[in-house]
Amino acid sequence: MGRKERNVSRINSTYVQQYDAHVERHRKKKKRLHRRLILFAIIVAITFGSIITYHINQRVMYSQKQEHYDALQVEMKALETEEKELDEEIKLLEDEEYVLQIAKTNYFFTEEGEIIFKLPKEDPSY
């Protein structure tokens, strides 16, 4: 069968009242401690969440900046190559013989007594 109920009356002495007050204070103290720990845990969780979010955002931004930097590096190498080619062309254009050769081939410039024959670039189809 079930548990037996006891009909025991409480003693109303000062010791029992003090003990009950002590137990109640201890229970309230424990309850406050649990509340403080829960509040602390919530604050720690929010702090870690914000730190992790910040860290992830920084990593995304870093990867975007790194991709942009790599693209700019490739572009810079291409521009440096183009600059070298243009410098070489400038050096060649300072040479009079080279300029005359270009004028002859591209613009049909002739000196006195020269004859220009224009040959077709395609092979004959016979």
For the chain, the structural domain boundaries read 14-107
Q: CA-to-CA distance for 60 and 54, rounded, in angstroms?
A: 10
Q: How confident is the model at residue 118 (pLDDT cuts 50, 70, 90)?
A: confident
Instruction: Using pLDDT thresholds of 50, 70 and 90, give the confidence band for residue 5.
Output: confident
Give the pLDDT score at 124. Answer: 65
Would you place residue 3 in the very low, low, confident or very high pLDDT band (cuts 50, 70, 90)?
low
As a whole number, mean pLDDT of residues 56-81 equals: 98
pLDDT at 102: 85
Task: Indicate the angle between helix axes 96-107 and 14-93, nearest 10 degrees.
Answer: 80
Task: State how far the Cα of 17 lies from the Cα of 23, in Å rounded to an integer.
Answer: 10
Q: What pLDDT is stored for residue 126 in this prediction?
A: 60
Q: Look up residue 39 and give its amino acid.
A: L
| Burial letters 64-100, b for 16+ CB under 10 A, else e | eeeeeeeeeeeeeeeeeeeeeeeeeeeeeeeeeeeee
DSSP 93: H
Position 110: which residue type?
A: T
* pTM of this prediction exceeds 0.85: no
The residue among 101 and 85 whose pLDDT is bigger is 85
Q: Is residue 23 predicted with pLDDT exceeding 60?
A: yes
Please report, for residues 6, 7, 8, 19, 72, the alpha-carbon distance to residue 3 in angstroms, rounded to integers and kept in the order given.
9, 13, 15, 27, 83
